[in-house]
Amino acid sequence: MSVHRVLILGARRRNQGLGEFIAKYFHEQKAVICGIVGTSRDSVEGTCLYLKAQYGFSTRGFTDLAQAIEESRPTVVVIASPNQYHFEHLRVVAQNNLSCLCEKPLFWKDEDPFDPGEVETLVNRFCRNGKLLQLVTQWPCTLDDFYSVYPGANNEPLKRFSMLLAPMSTGKQMVVDAMPHVLSMVHVLTGIGSVKHVTQKIEAGERFKIIFDYIHAGGRLEVHVTLVRSPKSPRPAGYALNGNLVWRTIRMKDYQMFFSVNSGSRVRVSDPLKKLVGRFLVDLESGQPTDKERLIASMTDLNTIVENLKL
């Protein structure tokens, strides 16, 4: 496997950011973390020191993405910055003919109307360059562990998918932060389709429920999403296929994940983010093309849900 040089925007964990752990897993895969990009000189210097102390690798800090690309010569850029900055960051990465692993959603412009052509144009830049663009949506990487708990579940026609997530954000941003995880699971389970019949319900205790149908080539999937605001880690999370339920729990001292079921049993879960980074590198090495259809669907379906909610 080639030794990839990885540049990371947002490499220090802030609340629910994953940049620190993405950096860790690329480092464990023998990639060179050739630089990090942050908002200020003080912040990037502090992050460089933190990463050295925590994970044992040294890197350079930058406050400008274009300069960082020019001077650190990456082969991969990780975008783990807030989603309102993703569009401009993605444009710079595409202009420099680099592969990219981008936090979800691909981008979000709260102040502008959704433009599907803009999404397609951006994704096409990576496709034309022959570069890989993927999202950090790690929940599908837990399906192997789910099927180890419910070994017969993958043989049943899937009629209903439910998911509980607990972002720290509120209102529309809560939906924008959480729903790409739901959609990534739906796309893997059913293939690409379309969102229909979106409804919502406000429940007690800052619980917000979203229900929709996902119409796909195999039929109709009923999707139930519960969002619970949770400002502190570990945040509650879980999902169910046809009522077969797993709850994610985390042992914080070593960040070991488990799936618990209603019977009381518990199984260890391989870290899905570590799996995702590993799969990204395998796809990169094998020349896997950018999945244009899925990236566009992730944005189109997210926009359909947001537009049909009263937030």
* Domain membership flag for residue 303: no
Write down the pLDDT at residue 113: 84
Q: Which domain holds residue 285?
A: 5-137+276-289
- What pLDDT digit, counting tens, does each position of 30-47 carry? 999 999 999 999 999 999
Q: Are 33 and 8 in contact (CB under 8 A)?
A: yes
- Mean pLDDT within 101-115: 92
Residues 162 and 216 in one domain: yes
- Whether the pLDDT of residue 16 is over 90: the answer is no
Write down the pLDDT at residue 252: 82
- What pLDDT digit, counting tens, does each position of 235-294 carry? 899 999 999 999 999 888 888 999 998 777 899 999 999 999 999 999 999 999 999 999
Write down the pLDDT at residue 265: 86
- Whether the pLDDT of residue 190 is over 80: the answer is yes
Residue 74: which of 147, 4, 171, 145 has the closest Cα? 4
Residues 176 and 124 in one domain: no
Residue 297: which of 85, 110, 116, 101 has the closest Cα? 116
Residues 181 and 201 in one domain: yes
- How crowded is residue 79: how many other Cβ atoms within 10 Å of its Cβ? 29
* Domain membership flag for residue 162: yes
* Domain membership flag for residue 298: no
- What pLDDT digit, counting tens, does each position of 122-181 carry? 999 999 999 999 999 999 999 999 999 999 898 999 999 999 999 888 889 999 999 999
Residues 148 and 265 in one domain: yes
How does the average pLDDT of the chain come out, rounded?
A: 94
Tokens found for residue 155: 């043989």
Residues 247 and 157 in one domain: yes
Q: Report long-range pairs for 252-260 (Cβ below 8 Å, ≥24 apart).
A: 259/142, 259/145, 259/146, 259/149
Residues 283 and 183 in one domain: no
- Whether the pLDDT of residue 15 is over 70: the answer is no
Write down the pLDDT at residue 112: 82
* Domain membership flag for residue 309: no
